[in-house]
Amino acid sequence: MKNSQFKLIDPLKYKDRILELLLQLNPDKEVNILEPLLVEMCQLSNYTCFGLFEGEELIGVSTGWTTVRIYCGKQIELDNVIIDSHYQSKGYGKYFMEEIKHWSLANGYKSIGLNTYVQNSRSHKFYFNEGFKILGFHFEKRMA
């Protein structure tokens, strides 16, 4: 991880690579569904995109949503957190989360929140090891 670098990125500049990573996280989706959602997300004022690079290659990405919650104050809610499958289990995820934590503290956030798919047990173990706790259930009702 000598050449690893964390930085805020413009996701549209890296759109093709981000879509490749999103397909790893969401194999049941298609690019023609993911691409317009990514473009729409980028237009929202509370959106941030974090990138993890190994040399010049984007190997990890996470969306960050700024929210203010009664129970915890200003929070960065991570979404679509993915490290390329070729780089997983090599310490990159730990490094990425540590850098996100440092950035969050420097920018006045009080907590980091996230959702992870129920079936993604590898991510559960990872987040527990990173000090995350389950606070509740995420409910959703589809409107269309």
pLDDT at residue number 134: 95
Q: Measured between alpha carbons, how far is 66 from 45 in angstroms, rounded to an integer?
A: 9
What phi-psi label fits residue 75: left (phi over 0), alpha (psi between -120 and 50 degrees) or beta? beta
For residue 138, tell me if it sits in a domain.
Answer: no
Q: What is the CATH number of the domain that holds 13?
A: 3.40.630.30
Contacts of 41 (CB under 8 A, 6+ apart): 11, 47, 63
Neighbours of 106 (CB within 10 A): 8
Q: How many domains does the chain have?
A: 1
Domain that holds residue 50: 4-129
Q: Measured between alpha carbons, how far is 123 from 78 in angstroms, rounded to an integer?
A: 13
For residue 11, tell me if it sits in a domain.
Answer: yes
For residue 134, tell me if it sits in a domain.
Answer: no
**Mean pLDDT by groups of 10 residues along the chain of 144 residues:** 92 98 96 97 97 97 97 97 97 98 98 94 96 94 94
For residue 139, tell me if it sits in a domain.
Answer: no
For residue 143, tell me if it sits in a domain.
Answer: no
Contact (CB, 8 A) for 97 and 120: no
pLDDT at residue number 1: 73
Q: Measured between alpha carbons, how far is 110 from 76 in angstroms, rounded to an integer?
A: 8
For residue 24, tell me if it sits in a domain.
Answer: yes
pTM of the model: 0.94
For residue 121, tell me if it sits in a domain.
Answer: yes
